[in-house]
Structure 1
Amino acid sequence: MNSPDVCATTVALNDDESSRLAQVPDGAHELTDTLQCELQAGHPGSHMALGQAGLEVAWWLRWSTTERALITVDDETGYCEATGRPVDSDPSDHDDWLCQLPAEHFGAHSWQMSAVGRVPSEANQQKLIDMAYELMERRR
């Protein structure tokens, strides 16, 4: 079974957007100059892409031919609450995945589409390494 395609539209960040995203405390990803829309291909209306995620809030860029804005999304302002499992997930993994898109997004949920690749920030890379070592130590 094939997963729905992610929208292939990209946008270059302007200097103001790049500067604002670089100032997000505890940024989860390495910043890039270009973002890719994370909604399902063929969606109506504005494009949306995660610019940066901090500990308590994520900054999304919403853009179209007539508007462009950095918006914040957190647990109160609305992430999609849908859960499910990717078609190609490991059959032994029984955990549902939470959709990582803002509430009321068009089309498929994030776990139904191929992910838009992101590189964790240097600080988050170290946290992931530390968590892996902790897990290995507990399994000994």
Structure 2
Amino acid sequence: MSISQEELRNCPARITLDAAQLTFLDGLPAAAPSVQTELGCELEQGHDGSHAALGHQEENTTWWIQWTLSASEINPYAWCPSGHSSPAERRDDKNCMLFTGHPGRHLPGRQSHEIEPHESVQ
């Protein structure tokens, strides 16, 4: 049985990043866009464990904001290996766009929460 992209639903949880989190992500050495102040969980609805949203990417390292009702943190991960045979391969829409070891099903292509620039923290 095949799962279509329409059948995959994102978790509705959201987080608003604080100034320290935004400063940390802005300080990472990569020519990638910065994150929005508010992010949505990119895991499938009903997942186990903490919520997660992609914050930044630096080559093959992805920085994920993970949170619960009482705490949040930013953790480095590799991309999920589903859909390709080596981490050095070019990523495309067939690759899982989550982090290695994520809960739930693999989610190909970007979810509805795109990374967009935010205003600089003063």
Question: Of the candidates 89, 99, 102, which is equivalent to residue 102 of structure 1?
Answer: 99
**What's the RMSD between the two structures over aligned residues?**
2.6
Relative distance call for 1:11 and 1:110 in structure 2 (3 A) is same
The TM-score with structure 2 as length reference comes to: 0.73
> Shift in Å at residue 9 of structure 1?
1.1
* SS of residue paired to 1:25: coil
Identical residues among aligned pairs (%): 27
Of Structure 1 and Structure 2, which has the larger fraction of its residues in helix?
Answer: 1
Q: Partner residue of 2:65?
A: 61
Q: Partner residue of 2:41?
A: 37
Give yes or no for contact 2:42–2:52 (8 Å, CA) kept in 1: yes
Whole-angstrom CA distance in 1 between matches of 2:38 and 2:49: 20
> Shift in Å at residue 48 of structure 1?
0.6
Q: Structure 1 stretch 26-35 or stretch 13-22: which is displaced more?
A: 26-35
Whole-angstrom CA distance in 2 between matches of 1:81 and 1:33: 28
Whole-angstrom CA distance in 2 between matches of 1:96 and 1:19: 30
Gaps of 5+ in 1: 85-94, 122-140
Q: How many residues get paired?
A: 107
Moved over 6 A (4+): none
Q: Partner residue of 1:116?
A: 113
The TM-score with structure 1 as length reference comes to: 0.64
> Shift in Å at residue 104 of structure 1?
2.0
Give yes or no for contact 1:5–1:113 (8 Å, CA) kept in 2: no
What letter matches 2:35 in structure 1? L
> Shift in Å at residue 30 of structure 1?
3.4
* SS of residue paired to 1:70: strand
Instruction: For residues 29-82 of structure 1, give each alpha carbon's deviation from its aligned partner in whole angstroms, at most 9, with x where no partner exists.
Output: 2321111111001112200111111224221111102331110113xxxx3221
Relative distance call for 1:32 and 1:120 in structure 2 (3 A) is closer
Question: Of the candidates 14, 18, 35, which is equivalent to residue 14 of structure 1?
Answer: 18
Gaps of 5+ in 2: 85-91
* SS of residue paired to 1:97: coil
What letter matches 1:97 in structure 2? K
* SS of residue paired to 2:101: coil
Give yes or no for contact 1:21–1:51 (8 Å, CA) kept in 2: yes
* SS of residue paired to 1:110: coil
> Shift in Å at residue 107 of structure 1?
1.7
Computing the radius of gyration from Cα coordinates, the structure with the larger value is 1
